[in-house]
Amino acid sequence: MLVSNSGQTATERDNGANLTTAKLNSWQGIRDEIQRRILDRSLVPGDKLPRDEELAAEFGCARTTVQRAMRELADRGAVVRRRKGGTRVNEDPFTRASLDIPITRIEVEQAGAVYGYRLESAEKKALPKRVAEQFGLPSRPKMLNVRALHTADGTPYIFEDRWVSFDTVPEILNVKLAVESANEWLIRNKPYSRCDIGVYAVNASATEARMMRTSPDQALFVIERTTWIGEDPITSVRAVTRPGYRMISRIR
């Protein structure tokens, strides 16, 4: 190790290059410094970074601390790390966005609106082909089909068409779905071990247009979620959102 960090404070070395960042020598400081080198193209895609041990010497810290910083950068997709291969700046950069999908009631309330919920129907039916495919099931067993409308200040917000496996979740048959949303009951009472999510756009069908009080063919944003516990299907839901619905995410 060439440089000791004893007695060296952040301010001593902060020459103004970093405006936002934490103490140098902290794992966040190291992460930000490496990221800065990528941002200002001191390091370009494909470049090999020094070994953790060398970086530890450079920053005057333990290798563990460098590890912590580099793991974050790897999680973000900024660098690729391989044993023996070393650490390189990612050749194929991509944008990694993290989306939090809350319970609808909470989403509405956080927007400052009054949440409402109306059950449209709940009946046992054979799974349509599309949903069976979602679950990856070869057959088309009976499940509970629940249709319900979520409203914000009285206007339609999300219309959900849901299938719940009462083989996996028999308790669902005892839930008063006229009062409590299946969405909320399931999320609070039946955590999943796997979840597939798909988002896309559709033209409103006649039914959807009526439910959402809009015109047929209106473009609507759809969120599909299918969940399992282990190998067993729990639920698959197609949530049609109101016209103009946007899903947003901010990075950094």
CA atoms within 13 A on the CB side of 36: 13
Closer residue to a second copy in complex, CB, 59/228: 228
Identify which range of 54-62, 86-94, 112-120, 139-147 contacts a second copy by CB under 8 A.
86-94
CA 141 to chain centre: 30
What is each CA distance from 129 to 126, 142, 147, 194, in whole angstroms? 9, 12, 18, 21
DSSP code string of 154-178: TEEEEEEEEEE-TTT-GGGGGS-TT
Q: Which does 74 bind (CB under 5 to 8 A by kind): DNA, a second copy, none?
A: DNA
Burial class for 74, CB neighbours closer than 10 Å (0-12, 13-18, 19+): middle
Minimum CB distance to DNA, residue 227 (Å): 26
Minimum CB distance to a second copy, residue 77 (Å): 7
Minimum CB distance to a second copy, residue 74 (Å): 14
Q: Which does 249 bind (CB under 5 to 8 A by kind): a second copy, DNA, none?
A: a second copy
Q: Does 201 help bind a second copy (rule: CB under 8 A)?
A: yes
> How far is residue 168's CA from residue 1's CA, in Å, rounded to a whole number?
59
Minimum CB distance to DNA, residue 83 (Å): 3
Closer residue to DNA in complex, CB, 49/146: 49
> How far is residue 184's CA from residue 84's CA, in Å, rounded to a whole number?
47
Whose tokens are 């020094």? That residue is 50
Answer for the pair 237, 219: CB distance below 8 angstroms, yes or no.
no
Q: Which does 84 bind (CB under 5 to 8 A by kind): DNA, a second copy, none?
A: DNA
Q: Does 180 help bind a second copy (rule: CB under 8 A)?
A: no
Q: Does 252 help bind a second copy (rule: CB under 8 A)?
A: yes
For a second copy, the binding residues (CB under 8 A) are: 19, 38-39, 41, 45, 77, 92-103, 106, 187-189, 191, 193-203, 217-222, 225, 229-230, 244-252
